[in-house]
Amino acid sequence: MSAHKNIYIGMLGCGVVGSQVAALLEKNNAELSTRAGAKLILKKIAVRDIKAAREGINQSLFTTDAQSVIDDSEIDIIIEVMGGIDPARELILAAIKNGKSVITANKALLALHGADLFTAADNKGVDLYYEAAVAGAIPIIRPMRESLVGDQITRVMGIVNGTTNYILTKMDEEGRAFADVLKEAQSLGYAEADPTADVEGIDAASKAAIIAGLAFHSRVSVDDVYREGISSITADDVAVAKTMNHVIKLLAIAELTSDDRISVRVHPTLIPRSHPLAAVRNAFNAVFVEAKSAGQLMFYGPGAGGAPTASAILGDVVAVARHRVSDSVGPRESDYADRAIAPIGDTKTQFLIRLNVADKPGVLAAIAQVFAKEGVSIQTVRQSGRGNDAELIVVSHGATEEALSSTVSALSKMDIVTKVESVLRVLGSQS
């Protein structure tokens, strides 16, 4: 290899992902350096506990002084895999200020403070790359930022959280309850001891914000994302979806509204079994992109894990190192469109509403009248059970969340409605 310079790398954090990055950078160094056009040298790794065993990594690289990594004038690239908001944010800003390019897997940080971080990187003329922050190994940031930049993306729908997809897959395939599957997932190490960030859609909301900003050339924060998790999905919901030949998935959806605003949300959604996203099982992730000229594209693969996430990070390392070699930077984050965020109340979607009702003449007519009064058009109605067990399953045409919420509130006040069992969104037409 005729490398004309050395590129020094510092890493912040060395957990499951960081240790794979270090190990693969060492193992595949000759090839990665050839691809980058410079010798890639991992110089320092900042960790909290220097004594923790990290097999196969040169112990002399470790330091507990993160600032010393940021301040090392020889280091060109910082890889941030420590996670969390602070001190990661201050360290990244300091690294940028010191002229270093940064690679991060930190979706929560980007979704909250992306605007400041990207502006700082632009002002300093360095790269801030983050392929690993959304859907692990799946290349989705670069395809959206570069390959599809000649097109107009209209909608992106992602299964971007492996834990919830694993739980929903088991509920669908084995007919089990949420709590039961969650417990098993925790004992197998698929779900965290505190599963809140995954099951309540918090992790997916960060990814949705990043995807929406990229797709629609605007700044989108996690605070703009409407969010519902999967903890209230019941075995009955899954069974009803099944009878309609649908499956329930936690989708992160970013779409352009008819008046050119951004609707960005995370919620359980019934999708037809024939849709490509329905085939994404267990902990796998997938991102389904719809663009005006390209049509429909799907990116599929492992969304988490040490080696898969390290693959995305090392792709960024080589890309950023190439820029350093040619004294350039990659494409800047683009926010020129500055589109407004549509409030959830304005979002149009199809709904499935399950109602426990009195089983007597006139009930259906009275219920249909409530829908009509709120301007929500009904697509199908089905009754299951009889007498005290009667349940009506209503699927609406596209309606706004606001109209739907008024309908549900009116239904729940009716004497003939014992309970509104559940309200779920259905992937379908907006009209």
Helix (H), strand (E) at residue 80: strand 75-80
Q: Please report whether residue 33 would count as binding ligand HSE according to CB under 6 A.
A: no
Give alpha helix (H) positions in 84-223. Answer: 88-97, 107-124, 141-142, 162-174, 178-187, 196-199, 202-216
- Please indicate whether residue 207 is annotated as part of the active site: yes
- β-sheet bridge partners, residue 279: none
- Nearer to ligand HSE among residue 105 and residue 417 (C-beta): 105
Q: Is 18 in the site for ligand HSE (CB under 6 A)?
A: no
Nearest of 193, 207, 196 to residue 161 by alpha carbon: 207
What span, in angstroms and rounded, lies between the C-alpha atoms of 130 and 106? 8
Q: Which of 20, 33, 104, 163 binds ligand HSE (CB under 6 A)?
A: 163
Of 161 and 169, the one with the shorter C-beta distance to ligand HSE is 161
State the minimum distance, in angstroms, from the CB of residue 283 to ligand HSE: 7
Residues 280, 302 contacting (CB under 8 angstroms): no
| Radius of gyration of the chain from its Cα atoms, rounded to whole angstroms | 24
| Residue type at position 222 | V
Q: Is 107 annotated as a binding residue?
A: yes
- Asked if residue 189 belongs to a known ligand binding site, the reply is no
Residue 5, marked binder: no
20 near ligand HSE, rule: CB under 6 A: no
Task: Tell me: is residue 17 an annotated ligand-binding position.
Answer: yes
Q: Which residue type sits at 407?
A: T
Cross-strand bridge partners of residue 77 = 9, 101
> Is there binding between residue 198 and ligand HSE (CB under 6 A)?
yes
| 164/350 with CB nearer ligand HSE | 164
Binding mask 392-411 for ligand HSE (x = CB under 6 A): --------------------
Which amino acid would we find at residue 301? G
Is 303 a binding residue for ligand HSE by CB under 6 A? The answer is yes
Q: Determine if the peptide bond prior to 87 is cis (ω within 30°).
A: yes
- Applying CB under 6 A, which of residues 162, 213, 308, 315 lies at the interface with ligand HSE? 162
What is the closest distance, in whole angstroms, from the C-beta atom of residue 362 to ligand HSE in the complex?
Answer: 48
The 10 Å Cβ neighbour count of residue 292 is 9
Whether 33 has a binding-site annotation, put simply, is no
Burial 347-377 (b: 16+ CB within 10 A, else e): bbbbbbbbbbbebeeebeeebeebbeebebe
Nearest Cα residue to 66 out of 90, 42, 85: 90
Ligand-binding annotation for 69, yes or no, is no
With contacts defined by CB under 6 A, name the span among 155-163, 220-228, 342-350, 421-429 that binds ligand HSE: 155-163
Choice between 38 and 304, CB closer to ligand HSE: 304
Instruction: Kindly give the pairing relationship between strand 153-159 and strand 39-46.
Output: unpaired
Amino acid at site 345: G
Candidate list 82, 144, 304, 313; residue touching ligand HSE; CB under 6 A? 304
Closest to ligand HSE by CB, 214 or 342 = 214
Q: Least distance to ligand HSE from the beta carbon of 130, Å?
A: 12
Which residue's CB is nearer to ligand HSE, number 109 or number 393? 109
The answer to whether the annotation marks 16 as part of a ligand binding site is: yes
* Residue 31, marked binder: no
Is residue 203 a contact point for ligand HSE (CB under 6 A)? Answer: yes
Q: Interacting stretch for ligand HSE, rule CB under 6 A, among 112-120, 140-148, 156-164, 396-404?
A: 156-164
Cβ-contact 79, 9 below 8 angstroms: yes
CB of 107 to ligand HSE, least distance (A): 6
Binding of residue 333 to ligand HSE (CB under 6 A): no
Q: Which helix (H) or strand (E) holds 21?
A: helix 16-27
Token representation of residue 200: 């309540």
> Which residue of 33, 101, 161, 347 would you call a contact of ligand HSE, by CB under 6 A?
161
> 428 in helix, strand or coil?
coil
From the list 207, 348, 360, 413, the catalytic residue is: 207
Q: Which residue has the tokens 């239904």?
A: 411
Q: Give binding residues for NADPH as ranges.
A: 107
Give contact residues for ligand HSE (rule: CB under 6 A). Answer: 161-163, 198, 203, 303-304
Active site residues: 207
